Amino acid sequence: MSGGPLVALHGVTCRYASEDVLVDVDVAVGAGQFVGVVGPSGSGKTTLLRAVAGSMQPLRGTVTRRGGLRIAYVPQVETIDWSFPVTVAQCVLMARVHGRRWPWPSTAERAAVSEILARLDIEHLSDRHIRELSGGQQQRVFIARAMLGEPDLLLLDEPTSGVDVRLRHEILHLLDDLNARGLAILLTTHDLNGIAAHLPHVVCLNRTVLGAGRPVDVLTPDILERTYGASMQVLEHGGMPVVVDSFSHRHAAASHKHAHEHTHEHADRGLT
């Protein structure tokens, strides 16, 4: 791999209005790396992606990108206007915004779109409206759009928020597959067990970086408590960390006890 990271943030501070959303952040993504950023809502995950992509200029610090680096961005599906009148092919073609000047695609562009749709198993949907797709297909359309730009680095903002377990596996497998072919990936997620624990490299973020490395080294009670401001337990299962939210644990125990008392009450009343 031709030396140095693809993109590196050094001491980056980003500010919205008068609030520092990121403070003194150091993050680097190397060629072929697969990195997950975890943190609570409002911890600056999306801002970090924007700083990496270059759509957010840091107040302080530097962002260095390797010369000629191509970055593609997959937004959160919640931000998409699903009633917007575009078909799958039209949506994917948007990646060629700097292609030829004419509105309609060239034969080569058409072929490129078909090829990428075929690679993601959604070629048969190319003339469908984006709303007529399942959640997994919708996610694939936006990954296809990102891939059409032949990026070196793929950024995904919460690719698995609001999806069920099966779809989460599907997306994770797809990304794993793309990564295996050499694509570097940086994604944000709030899903510690479903996503983060499966990735080779994790960054814990809450306005600043609180830990970075392999999940087994980073997803520890200490770092997680500092990241989320709540105490969590970490178990181990098959060599992977499993994070247990202590609050919900206690809560579950309490409601179990409550249910128990409840049945007794019924039983008492039944006797009288």
147-186: which residues touch another protein (CB under 8 A)? 149, 155
- Kindly state whether residue 98 participates in binding another protein, applying the rule CB under 8 A: yes
H-helix or E-strand spanning residue 213: strand 208-213
- Kindly state whether residue 131 participates in binding another protein, applying the rule CB under 8 A: yes
Contact segment (CB under 8 A) with another protein among 91-99, 188-196, 237-245, 253-261 equals 91-99
Binding residue (CB under 8 A) for another protein from 25, 51, 91, 234: 91
Bridge partners (DSSP) listed for residue 213:
202
CA distance 141 to 39: 26
β-pairing, 7-16 with 60-65?
antiparallel
Q: Report in angstroms the alpha-carbon separations of 113 from 116, 179, 207, 247.
A: 5, 20, 38, 47
Contact segment (CB under 8 A) with another protein among 85-93, 116-124, 175-183, 218-226 equals 85-93
- Kindly state whether residue 79 participates in binding another protein, applying the rule CB under 8 A: yes
- Kindly state whether residue 18 participates in binding another protein, applying the rule CB under 8 A: no
Taking the complex as a whole, how short is the minimal distance between the CB of residue 186 and another protein, in angstroms? 13
- Kindly state whether residue 255 participates in binding another protein, applying the rule CB under 8 A: no
Taking the complex as a whole, how short is the minimal distance between the CB of residue 59 and another protein, in angstroms? 17
DSSP states of 102-169 = SSSPPHHHHHHHHHHHHHTT-GGGTTSBGGGS-HHHHHHHHHHHHHHT--SEEEEESTTTT--HHHHH
Contacts with another protein, residue ranges (CB under 8 A): 17, 50, 53-55, 71-75, 79-82, 84-87, 90-91, 94-99, 101-104, 129, 131-132, 149, 155
